[in-house]
Chains A and B, each alone.
Chain A
Amino acid sequence: MLEKRILTQRFNKYDGLSIRQYIDLDGFKALEKAFSMSSQQIIEEIKLSQLTGRGGAGFPTYIKMQAMLNETRDKYLVCNADEGEPGHFKDRHLIEKDPYQLIEGMVISAYAVGANKGYIYVRGEYNNAIQQLEKTIKIATTKGYLGNHICDSDFSFELVVRRGAGAYVCGEEFALMESIEGKPGRTRVKPPFPTEKGIFDYPTLINNVETFCNLPTIIEHGGEHYSTIGSNHAKGTKLICLSGNVKHKGLYEVPYGTSINDVISELGGGTANDIPIQMVQIGGACGPIIPPRLLNMDIDNEAFEIFDAKMGAGAIIVIDENYDLFEIVLRNMQFFLHESCGKCAPCREGHIQIVKLLQKFVNYQATHKDYVSLQSLAEVIHTTTLCGLGQTSPTSVISTMTYFKEAYDKRINQQNKE
């Protein structure tokens, strides 16, 4: 079996609302155990587990928690559920199918770092997830798993849902915090990092939904046990969002170390109609587009550093030979043109020009000069913008220029002949 179901173990085993059924499925066991441990002991377990952030950046979770623990002011906890990266749907599934697991993970984190208020920021488009969370938070509060004196302890933690209003950039941590403060989602300059100066300038621990969902299993079974799952680079499991031209699209949970090829062929059943794979985009619109010969690579974050890009949050988008490479890259860049917050000039203006250049490639009107302009624009946006949006948005351009250079050359030559 390629799949290893830990975070998704309760999926479809209960309705996602009944707290009684969640408890019957061993829910809140980890929380009770956590309350018998000290903050430092919990963080030590997270350190042993080698858990890294599942939102795309892959930063070690314990470092953020330790930094929070050292702070003495009021502290906040934030769950980033602004899942807007095209090709991702894992956080929506985690919230809709097992919301109590997320709540449990958040309460454990809050207890460990000493935060008494938390926010879950959900994108406005996820109406079902928002309703599910509002209902389950209410139930969990009534049953004493949230609110004052949780499980009869001295610890209190209030959790509220905040809705986004249609802005992809709010998935970036500082843009998200600006949005929670009721402002347009424009990022801040780092440092200071959120653990020093986050929401309302207070220390804030912000993690992705999937990262928080890993905490109950780590605390329940121990960090050392968790670290036996996975590869040399990365530990634990990863939720993979498989989409595009595959037979069985869907959400799969696999241990790190699994190859992209195995996910596509064994879990996805290969391409629909058995048309050969032309390319695969990894990590959503901001991720690299790679040719089939590279698909033997692991899904690990570190294995992707050769692209100066990360695995992202787990999307694998399979594209077969029926589709035009330039049409795909153009759609990606149109997305970023619309979603740029406008704060950094290279991102705000650069995407307008990149889209114009790519339209020339799509329409067989591009010249070698356009190629050079496209290349330098992509590099400038990648290196000179403040937040992850601009830093990663040109990845599909840069990666296709690396791996599909002949497609660009061919398109330019076809123009010359006409």
Chain B
Amino acid sequence: MNLQKILEKHAFQKDHLIEILIDLQNEKTYKFVTEEEVSLIADALKVPVSHVCGVMSFYTLLSFDERGKYIIQVCKDVPCYLNDDFNVLTTIEKALDISCGDTSKDQFFTLEQTACLGCCDEAPAMRINNKVYTKLTKAKVLRILEEYKEGILC
């Protein structure tokens, strides 16, 4: 679905701005919105460009930066911390040879931290794009990463 179709789906309503930006970002392999698209959306919804930029910068899930095909988000809050006896974040950093916040050279993975994913009953947890993985162990984390690389998970 291109931008025009997304705008039509939301009937060019300005209260749908966040929905439009999420839909647009989800359409793209590298999950980001360009400045050109921001201008087009602003024109179509008859709102100032600054308003769209304000929304883009306010919400954590929206991004101007090109990211990896798969965005790994590791929960950083207390309930996961209390159940993380092997350090999920450093395990992934070592396995992919990237630091938190970075994208791998082949643009396959981006590693981020996230606020609570609401899976504290199955902590520790992480999210890869729209899928949540819980009850993580070191072996499970490494296996999940391998399965993404091999295309078993997507």
Contact = CB atoms under 8 A, between A and B. Distances in A.
A245 B31 CA distance: 36
A144 interface: no
A89 B120 contact: yes
Contacts of A285: 77-78
Nearest to B120: A243
Given A184-B58, A285-B78, A338 B121 contact: no
Contact of A126 (B21, B62, B76, B118): B118
Nearest to B16: A182
A249 B118 CA distance: 13
A230 B21 CA distance: 45
Give the interface size bracket for B toward A: 35 or more
A317 B79 contact: yes
A349 interface: no
A88 interface: yes
A242 interface: yes
Contacts, number: 132
Interface string A153-182: 000000000111111100000000001111
B82 A323 contact: yes
A321 interface: no
Interface of A: 83-89, 91-92, 123-128, 162-168, 179-185, 200, 241-245, 249-251, 281, 285, 315, 317-319, 323, 328, 331-332, 334-335, 338-339, 341
25 contacts: A84-B118, A86-B115, A86-B116, A87-B77, A88-B116, A89-B119, A123-B118, A124-B22, A126-B118, A127-B130, A127-B131, A128-B132, A165-B21, A165-B62, A166-B62, A168-B115, A182-B13, A185-B59, A242-B121, A244-B79, A244-B120, A249-B123, A251-B121, A315-B120, A317-B79
Given A179-B18, A249-B123, 13 more contacts: A84-B115, A86-B78, A163-B22, A167-B58, A180-B15, A183-B17, A243-B120, A243-B123, A250-B121, A317-B78, A335-B76, A335-B77, A338-B115
